[in-house]
Amino acid sequence: MRVGILRSPSPLPGFGLSFGIMTAILSIVVLLPIGALLGRGLMIGPADLWDMLNSRRIWSALTLSFSAALIASLFNLVFGLMLAWVLVRYRFWGRRFIDAAVDLPFALPTAVAGIALTALYAPNGVFGQALAPFGLQVAYTEVGIWVALVFIGLPFVVRTVQPVIEELERDLEEVSATLGARRAYTLRRVILPTLTPALLTGFALALARSVGEYGSVIFIAGNIPNITEIAPLLIVIRLEEYNYDAAAAIGIAMLVISFAMLLVINAIQTWSRRRIGLA
Partner 1 sequence: MPDITLSRPVPVTTEAPLIRGLLIGVALIFVALFLFAPLVTVFVEALRQGWVAALDALRLPDALAAIRMTLTIAAIAVPINAAFGIAAAWAITKFDFPSKAFLITLIDLPFSVSPVVAGLMLVLLFGANSTLGGWLIANDMPIVFAFPGILLATLFVTFPFVARELIPVMIEQGRAEEEAALTLGASGWRIFFTVTLPNIRWALLYGVLLCNARAMGEFGAVAVVSGKIRGETATMPTMVEMFYNEYLSVAAFTLAAVLAMLALLTLLLKSLLEWRHADLLAATRRH
Sites for partner 1 among residues 114-173 (CB under 8 A): 115-117, 119-120, 125-127, 147, 150-151, 154, 159-160, 162-163, 166, 170, 173
Q: How far is the CB of 116 from partner 1 (least distance, A)?
A: 4
Q: Residues 65 to 84: which contact partner 1 by CB under 8 A? A: 79, 82-83
Q: Which residues of 91-117 are buried (b: 16+ CB within 10 A; e: fewer)?
A: eeeeeeeebeebeebeeeebeebbebb
What is the C-alpha radius of gyration for the chain, rounded to an integer number of angstroms? 23
Q: Which CB sits closer to partner 1, 86 or 278?
A: 86
Could you say which of 21, 42, 260, 267 contacts partner 1 (CB under 8 A)?
21
Could you say which of 42, 48, 63, 89 contacts partner 1 (CB under 8 A)?
89
Nearest CA to 201 out of 76, 102, 117 is that of: 76
Enumerate the H helices of 136-243 as residue ranges.
142-166, 170-178, 183-186, 192-211, 215-221, 231-240
Q: Which CB sits closer to partner 1, 95 or 274?
A: 95
Could you say which of 48, 51, 103, 241 contacts partner 1 (CB under 8 A)?
103
Could you say which of 136, 236, 263, 278 contacts partner 1 (CB under 8 A)?
236
Q: Is 273 in the site for partner 1 (CB under 8 A)?
A: no
Q: Residues 31 to 50: which contact partner 1 by CB under 8 A? A: 31-34, 36-37, 40
- Say how many residues touch partner 1, by CB under 8 A: 104
Q: Which CB sits closer to partner 1, 3 or 47?
A: 3
Is residue 254 within 8 A of residue 230, CB to CB? The reply is no
Q: How far is the CB of 200 from partner 1 (least distance, A)?
A: 15
Q: Sign of the C-alpha dihedral, residues 45, 51, 54, 57?
A: negative
Q: How far is CA 269 from the centre of its chain?
A: 16
Q: Which CB sits closer to partner 1, 118 or 272?
A: 118
Would you give the binding string for partner 1 spanning residues 174-213, x where CB under 8 A is met?
Answer: x--xx----x---------------------x--xx-xxx
Q: How far is CA 19 from the centre of its chain?
A: 30
Q: Which CB sits closer to partner 1, 141 or 218?
A: 218
Length of the chain equals: 279
d(C-alpha 24, C-alpha 37), whole Å:
19
d(C-alpha 60, C-alpha 210), whole Å:
17
Q: Which residues of 32-54 are buried (b: 16+ CB within 10 A; e: fewer)?
A: eeeeeeeebbeebeeeebeebee
Could you say which of 50, 185, 244, 271 contacts partner 1 (CB under 8 A)?
244
Q: How far is the CB of 139 from partner 1 (least distance, A)?
A: 13
